[in-house]
Amino acid sequence: MDDEDRLIELMVQYQAGREEAFEEFYGLVKPRLHRYLIVKSLDRQLAEELLQETFLQIHRSRRTYFPGRPVTPWIFSIAHHVYLNDRRSRIKRKTREEPIEDHIIDLPVPSNMEAVVETDSLREAMTKLPPEQRESILLHHYWGFSFREIGRALGIRTITAKLRAHRGLLKLREYLNLNKVTENRRNNN
Amino acid sequence: MKEDQLYKQLRERLNHDFTPVKPLEKPWKRALWLFPISLVFMVVTLAVFHLRSDSANFHPLALFGFIFLQILACYLALTVSLETSIPGSVKNPLILTGIGLLGPAVFCIASWAAFHVSPSQPLSDQGWKTGMACLTIIGLFGLLALLFGFFLVRSGLPFRAGATGLLIGLGGGLTAEAAWRLHCPNTSWDHILIFHGGSVLFLLSAGLIIGFLWKKKVRRR
C-alpha cells in the first residue's frame, strides 16, 4: 500500500471521528506540508505558523474531502489557501517584513536534478525563481503531482501549470550555466 | 509524536473535538436542489399571478423549453460555484467565465425569441409600474435562491469567493427570472433589460458582497 492509499484510509477514519487516525495522518502529512509552506513563504518560522493554521483549516473543512479521492492535492490546496490568506493580511497590516533569502535553509530539490547538479547550487538557483514557477516545478518534480492536479489545487489551467514549470526549468538551466561559467572563470584566474 | 510541540498545541486548539462528520455530497448532487426550488417559484407564479396573457402566441414547448434551458444554465453555474469552494477542485477563471456566460446567453436568446413571437410596446408610465413589480418579485425570488446557494456552499472554503458569489447570484437571479417569465407578458427590450436584467444585476452584486463577507468570516475563524 503506498502513502496515498494509506492517507485516503486515514482521512476516512478521521472523518469518522477516530483520533488515532488523525495522529497518524498528521505524522504522514506534516513533513510534506512543512516543506511546501517553506517553498511558498521562504521563511521557516512563518512556515511553522502557517502549518498549524493549515492543520486547523484541514480539521474544520474535513467534510469537504470526498472519500476515495487523492488526499495530497486536497491538503496542498488548503495550505495554498492558508498561505494566500496570510499574505493578504500581512500586506494589509504590513507588520511582517518580506522574508529575506538568508532564511532559506532547506528548500527541497527534485531528485532527478540532484543527480546532475550540485545540490547547493541547485537550491540557490531555486530560490531565485519566481515563486509560482518554483512552486510548479516542486509540485510536479518533487511531490509528483500531475499538472492537472496542480491546476485544480491552485485554481489555474493545466497548461499554465505546465508553462510555469517549463519556464522555471529554463530559468534554472540558464542560471546554473551562468554559475558554472563564473566558477570556471574564478578557477582560471 | 507526543513530544511534537506543534502537535500538542494543535490538539489543545482542536480541544479533542473529533466528532464524526459526514462527507459533503458531490457539488452536482447538492446543486440539484435548484430544480425543486425553481419549481416552487413557478408554481407560486402561476398560482398567485397566473400564466402570461399572451401565452396563446407561444408553443408550450418553446415557452417551457427556454425556461428549462435557463434553469439548466443556472444549475451549471451553481454546480461550478459549489465545486470552486472544494479544496483540490478549484476551477480556473476561464472555466468560471465560460459557465457564467451561459446563463446570460440563454436569457438573451429567450428574450429575443419572445419578442420575435409576441412583441410588446416599449415602456409607458404604466410600464414603469409593472416594471417595478417585476423588479421586486424577481429580486425577492432570487434572494431566496441566493441565500439557499450560500447555505449549500457554507461548508466549503472561499478559494474564489468573488466568483462563487457572482455565480450564485447569477444562478439565483436567472432562476427567478425564468420562473417569472411564466407570468410577465412584457417582451420589449427596455423592460427586459431595465427590470429583469436590473434585478439579476442586483442579485449579482448581492452575491459578490455575500461572497466577500463569507471569505472575511472564514479568515477570522
Give the highest mean pLDDT range of A8-12, A139-143, B118-122: A8-12
Q: Is B21's CB within 8 Å of A57's CB?
A: no
**For residue A65, what pLDDT is reported?**
93
Q: What percent of chain A has pLDDT over 90?
A: 22
Q: Is B88's CB within 8 Å of A60's CB?
A: no
Kindly state the cell numbers that stand for B196.
Answer: 429583469
Q: Is A67's CB within 8 Å of B24's CB?
A: no
Residue type, A76: F
**For residue B198, what pLDDT is reported?**
95
**Does A61 reach chain B within 8 Å, measured CB to CB?**
yes
**Angle at alpha carbon of residue A149, lines to A147 and A150, rounded to 5°:** 60
- Altogether, the residues listed in chain A come to a count of 189
**Does A66 reach chain B within 8 Å, measured CB to CB?**
yes
Q: Chain A interface, mutation test: which of B5, B21, B96, most A Cβ atoms within 10 Å?
A: B21
Chain A CB contacts of B83 below 8 Å: none
Q: Is B157's CB within 8 Å of A61's CB?
A: yes
**Cβ partners under 8 Å of residue A183, min gap 6:** none
C-alpha distance from A62 to closest chain B C-alpha (Å): 8
C-alpha B62 chain-centroid distance: 22
pTM of the model: 0.81
Calculate mean pLDDT across residues A147-152: 84
The interaxial angle of helices A147-154 and A71-93, nearest 10 deg, is: 40
Q: What is the DSSP letter of B31?
A: G
Q: Choose the weakest-confidence range: A13-27, A175-189, B139-153, B193-207.
A: A175-189
Residue type, B66: F
- Residue contacts between A and B (CB atoms, under 8 Å): 100
Distance (Å, whole) CA B12 – CA B45: 53
Chain A CB contacts of B10 below 8 Å: 26, 52, 55-56
**For residue B125, what pLDDT is reported?**
67
Q: List pLDDT tens digits, range A91-116.
A: 877 655 555 444 445 566 666 665 65
Q: What is the DSSP letter of A106?
A: -
Calculate mean pLDDT across residues A52-79: 91
pLDDT, tens digit only, all 221 positions of chain B: 556 788 888 888 777 778 899 999 999 999 999 999 999 999 999 999 988 888 888 888 888 999 999 999 999 999 999 999 898 887 778 888 898 899 999 999 999 998 888 887 766 667 788 889 999 999 999 999 999 999 999 888 888 899 999 999 999 999 999 999 999 988 888 899 999 999 999 999 999 999 999 988 887 76
Q: Is B88's CB within 8 Å of A154's CB?
A: no
SS3 B84: helix
**For residue B19, what pLDDT is reported?**
87
Supply the ipTM of this predicted assembly: 0.78
Distances (CA, A) of B160 to A12, A161, B87, B93: 26, 18, 11, 9
Of A22, A51, A155, which has the smallest distance from its Cβ to B91's Cβ? A155
Distance (Å, whole) CA B43 – CA B172: 17
Kindly state the cell numbers that stand for B4.
Answer: 511534537
Distance (Å, whole) CA B109 – CA A47: 51
Average predicted confidence (pLDDT) for chain A = 81
Of B14, B88, B92, which has the smallest distance from its Cβ to A77's Cβ? B88
C-alpha distance from A47 to closest chain B C-alpha (Å): 12
Q: Choose the weakest-confidence range: A44-58, A129-143, B42-56, B119-133.
A: B119-133
**For residue A104, what pLDDT is reported?**
45
